[in-house]
Structure 1
Amino acid sequence: MKTHASVAGKIALSFVMVMVVMIIVSFIFAAIGVARGMNLAELEASIGESLLVQYLQMILFIASSYAMYAFFERKKGWAIGLRQRRGAAYALHGAVAGIILISASAVLVWAFGGVSWQWAEWDQEMLVPMLKGVLLFVGVAVSEEIYSRGYVQGLLRHHYGSTTAIVVSSVLFALLHSLNPGMFSSPLPVINLIMAGVIMAVAREVTGGLWWPIGLHLTWNYFQGYIYGFNVSGTTRDYSLLHTVDQGPAWLSGGGFGLEGSALSIVLLILGTIAVYMMYRNKNKKIDADSVSSLLK
């Protein structure tokens, strides 16, 4: 029981540290907004859309992960996973996998009539926000992977083994998105995010580091939003190469949550998880492949 309480307490503390700072920053933003005469709706929009707030949250999740690791875990023999041999190659593999999976999901939703597409008229104004989108999703991928797969999964794996670490870290990863618009509009967004967590958690196990999941996380988000024009976990983008028109039932198109609200994405994520395990299971001899295998049976 002491171990359970200790692990749960460390995970809770790592999250609370981030939230306390974010609440303080939000109050500061709100005070500035009130001084400028903003109403409640304008304040919420200003804080929610602020890139400064978004980047601060990413930095805080990274800082929290490394602070907790440095204080409690550094001498216990497990690593967060950024120092990985052939990390660049694994990141590229993950990025290609992310493009394939999100493209297959988008095309299948389109083929079954869930959405229609129109090409956007390209102009110079699109270039800057699309480049900013790359930076944004790089930050999202790195911060969420360091926290969810690096610290949380690493901590759980050290105490309970790979299978428990994959399952629990994936559920917690989904819950991190609880405040996203439409997250609980149906069970599908929750299941999708859990399965997204699973494929990245399995990849972290069988490749031995974080770079494969970081690559997948980046391209999955970027292509979903800025190329195919879907909402990304309920959040909207200002520009995309394709304009998406939702014309099918939400279980097919994903509705306002984006492709991560579609049943088809769940199927592809399950198939992708099996493919990742089969491709990499023998390439890192230090991984407890039997534990991962038990999850996939």
Structure 2
Amino acid sequence: MESPSLFRRVLRHPLTRLVLCVVATAVLSLLLYWLTSLIGLKRTGSGALGLWVMSVCNVISVVLAMWLVEWGIGRRTLAQLGLGRHRALPELGWGLLLGTGLISAVVGIMALAGWYHLVDGPPESFQDESRDALAWLAIFTAVGIFEEVAFRGIAFRLLEEWLGSAAALVISSAFFGLVHAMNPHATWFATLAIALEAGVLLGAAYMLTRSLWFAIGVHIAWNWTQGALYGVAVSGTEVAALLESQVQGPEMWTGGAFGAEAGGVAVLLCTAAGVLLLLYAVRRGQWIPFMPRRRARREAAATLATGETSV
């Protein structure tokens, strides 16, 4: 069998595909932003509709970029990339349940400690509250899909293929935290908290199922339950909520203005949940050792040498 050329080997390398996915996402995003501006969608402003339009553009860009690069180089389908239709709804449902449960537990502990209180807010009709809740559900759905495809579907998956599970988890989690460092009210502890609790939890969720739907469900429920249901800031962003609330307590445990996810309660609880998922993934044989490509080449060479010797 003829070995692939140097160009093909470089092209197929996970790092090359990672760079191509990032570049393709950026180019497609700029193109879509230009198209939305051309047809007038940018005139929706900075409100919920404008944020949703921008988020949908990001989703289309990152999914299309990942598919174009991986199909063009390795003929990989969306199902092979973690976005298959088979078991999508059950995995999404379990993710939504886990995300809702984790944030509810965090808020519940804060309430028992006397740090989370329900307060009287401005009078709103049921129709207005429902409209706001659905609007934020649409936004958080798009944000969840975009970030999971970008950080788990592209970054984690390709880093894991290149460097193994441990390095992929550390690097993708660190980068996920650093990206949130640009959010309002972000601190160094908030950045570390996001990397630990969310990076590990969502990375482990992907490892366990090798599907993005479970991680997407966790991400959507995490944001929507925290913000649109309980009225706690989501990564520094205030959200119109069904429950008017007030958080008062030590910032180290409550997260302060950044939100509960930057507090010690969420860090301990959600990181523990991520570690449990990670251990379960390891038990199911989903852990990939360090430098798997080099290990595979050595094993192939050893097998070839053994075969030649026996002949």
Same fold (TM over 0.5): yes
Cross-structure match for 2:233: 231
CA distance in 1 between partners of 2:48 and 2:89 (Å):
35
What amino acid maps onto 2:223 in structure 1? N
Q: Percent identity?
A: 25
CA distance in 1 between partners of 2:118 and 2:246 (Å):
6
CA distance in 2 between partners of 1:159 and 1:289 (Å):
10
Q: State the secondary structure of the residue aligned to 2:244.
A: strand
CA distance in 1 between partners of 2:114 and 2:130 (Å):
30
Unaligned stretches of 5+ residues in structure 2: 1-8, 291-311
Matching of residue 15 in structure 1 with residue 22 in structure 2: yes
1:3-32 deviations in whole A, cap 9, x for unaligned? Answer: 7xx64554344334444565677789999x
Cross-structure match for 1:294: none
Matching of residue 172 in structure 1 with residue 179 in structure 2: no
Distance change in 2, residues 1:65/1:75 (3 Å): closer
Structure with greater Cα Rg: 2
Cross-structure match for 1:288: 287
Structure 2 residue corresponding to 1:196, chosen from 195, 198, 203: 198
Report if the CA contact (8 A) 1:29-1:47 is conserved: no
RMSD (Å), alpha carbons: 3.6
CA distance in 2 between partners of 1:87 and 1:52 (Å):
24
> Number of paired residues?
277
What amino acid maps onto 2:128 in structure 1? E
CA distance in 1 between partners of 2:36 and 2:192 (Å):
30
Cross-structure match for 2:82: 81
Query: What is the TM-score normalised by the length of structure 2?
Result: 0.74
Structure 1 segment 128-277 matched on structure 2, within 5 A: 128-183=131-186, 185-237=187-239, 239-277=240-278
Q: State the secondary structure of the residue aligned to 1:248.
A: coil
Q: State the secondary structure of the residue aligned to 1:245.
A: strand
CA distance in 1 between partners of 2:48 and 2:92 (Å):
32
Report if the CA contact (8 A) 1:117-1:243 is conserved: yes
Distance change in 2, residues 1:156/1:128 (3 Å): same
Q: State the secondary structure of the residue aligned to 1:116.
A: strand
Structure 1 segment 100-115 matched on structure 2, within 5 A: 100-115=101-116
1:51 is displaced (CA, Å) by 3.0
1:251 is displaced (CA, Å) by 1.8
Distance change in 2, residues 1:202/1:150 (3 Å): same
Distance change in 2, residues 1:248/1:276 (3 Å): same
Q: State the secondary structure of the residue aligned to 2:118.
A: strand
Distance change in 2, residues 1:119/1:189 (3 Å): farther
1:245 is displaced (CA, Å) by 1.7
Unaligned stretches of 5+ residues in structure 1: 37-42, 292-297
What amino acid maps onto 1:147 in structure 2? A
1:221 is displaced (CA, Å) by 0.7
1:147 is displaced (CA, Å) by 1.8
